[in-house]
Structure 1
Amino acid sequence: MDQQLFVFVTVAEKKNFSRAAEELHMTQPAVSQYIRTLEQTIGTKLLDRNNKYVRLNKAGEIVYHHAKEILGLYTKMHDLVDDLTNKTSGSVSIGASYTVGEYVLPHIIAVMHKRYPLIHPSIMIGNSKDIAELVKKHQLDVGIIEGELQDKQLTIEPFATDFMYIIASANREWSEEISISQLEEETWIVREEGSGTRAATERMFQTFGIKPQRKLEFGSTQLIKESVEEGLGITLLSDSAIRKEHSMGLLKIVQVRELPVTREFSTVLSSPFQTKALQVFLDLVRKK
Structure 2
Amino acid sequence: MDQQLQVFVTVVEKKNFSHAAEELHMTQPAVSQYVKLFEQRYGVKLLERSNKFVRLNKAGEIVYHHAKEILALYSKMKYLVDDLISNADGTLKIGASYTYGEYELPPIIGKMHELYPLIKPNIFIGNTTEVVELVKSHQLDVGLVEGEVIDSSLQIEPIAEDRMCIVMPKDHHLIQGRKELAFSELANETWIVRERGSGTRKVADKLFDSFEYKPDKILEFGSIQLIKSAVESGLGISVLSESAIKKELSVGSLGSIYLKDFIIKRNFSIVLNSPFQTKALEVFLSLLR
Q: What TM-score, normalized by structure 1, do the two folds share? A: 0.93
Name the residue aligned to 2:44: 44
2:18 maps to 1:15:
no
Deviation readout 1:36-67 (Å, 9 max, x if unpaired): 23223222221111012111111211111111
Pairing of 1:227-238 with structure 2 (within 5 A): 227-238=230-241
Counterpart Cα distance in 1 of 2:103 and 2:8: 36
Deviation at 1:273, TM superposition (A): 1.1
Name the residue aligned to 1:99: 99
CA contact (8 A) 1:89 1:118 kept: yes
CA contact (8 A) 1:154 1:268 kept: yes
2:270 maps to 1:262:
no
Name the residue aligned to 2:121: 121
Name the residue aligned to 2:64: 64
- The share of aligned pairs that are identical, in percent, is 62
2:160 maps to 1:160:
yes
AA in 1 matched with 2:29:
P
Counterpart Cα distance in 2 of 1:26 and 1:248: 56
AA in 2 matched with 1:231:
G
Unaligned stretches of 5+ residues in structure 1: none
Range moving further from structure 2, 40-49 or 53-62: 40-49
AA in 2 matched with 1:129:
T
Deviation at 1:124, TM superposition (A): 1.5
Name the residue aligned to 1:196: 199
Name the residue aligned to 2:244: 241
Range moving further from structure 2, 207-216 or 148-157: 207-216
Deviation readout 1:181-211 (Å, 9 max, x if unpaired): 2101100001111111011111111223332
Name the residue aligned to 2:90: 90
Change (3 A) 1:119 1:37: farther
Counterpart Cα distance in 2 of 1:280 and 1:212: 44
SS at match of 2:259: coil
SS at match of 1:254: strand
Name the residue aligned to 1:253: 256
Range moving further from structure 2, 84-93 or 28-37: 28-37
Q: Count residues in correspondence.
A: 286
Deviation at 1:16, TM superposition (A): 2.0
Counterpart Cα distance in 1 of 2:8 and 2:263: 49
Counterpart Cα distance in 2 of 1:209 and 1:117: 51
Counterpart Cα distance in 2 of 1:16 and 1:170: 53
SS at match of 1:120: strand
2:277 maps to 1:277:
no
Range moving further from structure 2, 141-150 or 84-93: 84-93
RMSD: 1.7
Change (3 A) 1:27 1:110: farther
CA contact (8 A) 1:76 1:275 kept: no
AA in 1 matched with 2:233:
E
Deviation at 1:266, TM superposition (A): 0.2
CA contact (8 A) 1:189 1:216 kept: yes
Deviation at 1:215, TM superposition (A): 1.0
Deviation at 1:217, TM superposition (A): 1.2
Deviation readout 1:12-56 (Å, 9 max, x if unpaired): 122222333333344333332322232232222211110121111
Deviation at 1:166, TM superposition (A): 0.6
AA in 2 matched with 1:2:
D
Counterpart Cα distance in 2 of 1:115 and 1:124: 22
Change (3 A) 1:104 1:52: same
Range moving further from structure 2, 38-47 or 159-168: 38-47
2:209 maps to 1:206:
yes
AA in 2 matched with 1:278:
L
Name the residue aligned to 1:215: 218
Deviation at 1:86, TM superposition (A): 1.2
Name the residue aligned to 1:145: 145
AA in 1 matched with 2:48:
D
Unaligned stretches of 5+ residues in structure 2: none
